[in-house]
Amino acid sequence: MLQVVWFKRDLRTQDNAALTAALNAGPTLCIYVLEPEYWQLPDTSNRQWMFIRESLLDLHQDLMSKNGGLQWYAGSVIDVLETIQKEHGEFALHSHEETGNLWTYQRDKNVKKWCQQQGVHWQEYRQFSVTRALNNRDAWASTWKKNMEQPVVVLPKNGVFSWLNHTQPAQDLPHSVSHDPTPCLGRQRGGRKLALSVFESFLTLRGETYRGSISSPITAESACSRLSPYLAYGCLSMRELYQTLQQHQQSASGRWKASLSAFESRLWWHCHFIQKLEDEPQMEMNNLHPATNHLNRIMNEEFFSAWQHGRTGWPMVDACMRYLQHYGWINFRMRAMLVSVASFPLWLPWQPVSHWLASLFTDYEPGIHYPQVQMQAGTTGINIPRMYNPITQAQKCDPSGNFVRQWVPELKHVSDQWIFEPWLMSKKQQQHFGLIIGEDYPAPLVDFAQASRMARARMQHINTGEYRATAKEIGQKHGSRKRRFPRKKWPSRASKNEQQLSLF
């Protein structure tokens, strides 16, 4: 019987359980479905597609070296499966378990229903250490470790591939399938070959400074692993990454040992957050804690547009947004700051904020993105709301002001004294530096201190006994069992002592 492998976000042949099982079972057809409807969603973009396209071409070459190949179709998955059924008759379907956005969640439910109606056996395989229909988190950490230590799966040497008639070659994959907010000239390129190269450079050169260098966008650009898009689209498997990391840790010492250990912990957190969305798919649109529905955040189009385009008047915020638009990536702390500024002083609803940022991220991973956005927006009920002060963050992460001057060239001649608060300059000083606030560069949209006080008061207003009781229930379902932190008061801004994740 024909075996069909539906590649989704597992664009590799190595340690691919779906492909291995299919080839062990019989002649295997490898397909990728380009779904036009998906690429019109607000959290998608052409920068993501181009990374996927490059990864698909790399996958096709790898399959060809094994006497196979990748066949692709444009349309709905069910239409494609019906085409295969008409041409080949009975078949079995293999794919990985996907924890995607609401659209892919509904699509998978529709595919499951179709398979049941047609008598098609659809077997899904674990992609990360994320558990379907999880009862509780009590043994989750130990299960994660066991899954990571399982041997990587190896393709059979005598596997046989199959083909369909009238399919398009991988080289004909379109270059444009979606909108893109801005050209992403600096984005990372896709494919397993590049993924392995990036991983190697991290393990042998860049990774030594990982611990202590991932908060600033200046040092994080090279100190971070830069593996996030390759994990998001499955060019690397989490398990092979973990096991290679373990091998390097055995001989590591000093700063290397500390950095590799810190990076390993991020792999655990990666799956921890994806598990949240797996357990609560509605997190893409609905507040995790229902009491936060009463915060009444308002969609101020002027504020939202200024935030989108790096024109808030806070230099560090604007520099980070422009950097992100160019590269399709920015380090975690700056992502958190972008969400925090939008959610608290600007008091914008997090849903359009999250979709806009998702479309900018080449490494968009829904299972990390939506739980993290809600965490930074203060709507989970189980995380301390962090109100990032963009001036303080600039002083800590860009003390020389070079990052701001590079990405906000309107301020390139402003002195160190005023670079992070240019609106405080007198008219005479503005003229001296060739910059008129309100004309060449905007004044801040709001007074940060005043707006933050109002936001804090609103958050405190809903922090009732009932709120805390519900938060405890949410924590039981979604909270980490790995570490325990004492309760703290609602802070005014993020401090060094707060546990802040910096994924990858």
For residue 5, which of 19, 23, 16, 15 has the smallest C-alpha distance?
19
pLDDT at residue 488 greater than cutoff 60: no
Give span(s): CATH 1.10.579.10, the chain: 283-478
In this prediction, residue 449 has a pLDDT band, given cuts at 50, 70 and 90, of very high
pTM, rounded to two decimals: 0.93
**Mean pLDDT, the chain, whole residue set:** 93
pLDDT above 70: percentage of residues in the chain? 95
Per residue in 341-373, pLDDT (tens digit) is 999 999 999 999 999 999 999 999 999 999 999
pLDDT band at 383 (very low <50, low <70, confident <90, very high): confident
Mean pLDDT over 10-31 rounds to 98
> Has residue 486 got a pLDDT over 80?
no
Q: Is the domain covering 283-478 a CATH 1.20.58.340 domain?
A: no
3-state secondary structure of 243: helix
Tell me, what's the pLDDT at 385?
84
Whether 425 has a pLDDT exceeding 50, the answer reads yes
Under CATH, what is the fold of the domain 192-279?
Answer: 1.25.40
Q: Look at residue 407 in the predicted model and tell me its pLDDT.
A: 99
Q: What span, in angstroms and rounded, lies between the C-alpha atoms of 302 and 305?
A: 5
Q: Is 309 exposed, middle or buried (0-12, 13-18, 19+ CB in 10 A)?
A: middle
Distance CA 443, CA 113 (A): 54
Alpha-carbon distance values, 473 to 90, 167, 291 (Å) = 46, 51, 13
pLDDT at 492: 38
Check whether 490 has a pLDDT greater than 50: no
Read off the pLDDT of each residue in 310-322 and give the average, rounded to a whole number: 99
Categorise residue 191: left if φ over 0, alpha if ψ from -120 to 50, beta otherwise.
left
| Model confidence at 462: pLDDT above 80 | yes
Residue burial 256-270, b: 16+ Cβ < 10 Å; e: rest: bbebbeebeebbbbb
Provide CATH 1.25.40.80 ranges for the chain.
192-279
Q: How many residues does the chain have?
A: 504
Range list for CATH 3.40.50.620 in the chain: 2-127
Decide if pLDDT at 79 tops 60: yes
State the CATH architecture for 2-127. Answer: 3-Layer(aba) Sandwich (3.40)
∠ CA(239), CA(244), CA(248), 5° rounding? 145
> Taking 90 as the threshold, does the pLDDT of residue 4 lie above it?
yes
Residue position matching structure tokens 């969609």:
299
State the pLDDT at residue 483. Answer: 52
Mind listing the pLDDT tens digit for each residue in 261-289? 999 999 999 999 999 999 999 999 999 99
Residue tagged 């988190």 (tokens): 137
Check: CB of residue 178 under 8 Å from CB of residue 64: no
Q: Tell me: the pLDDT tens digits for 124-144?
A: 999 999 999 888 888 899 999
Strand partners, 96: 125
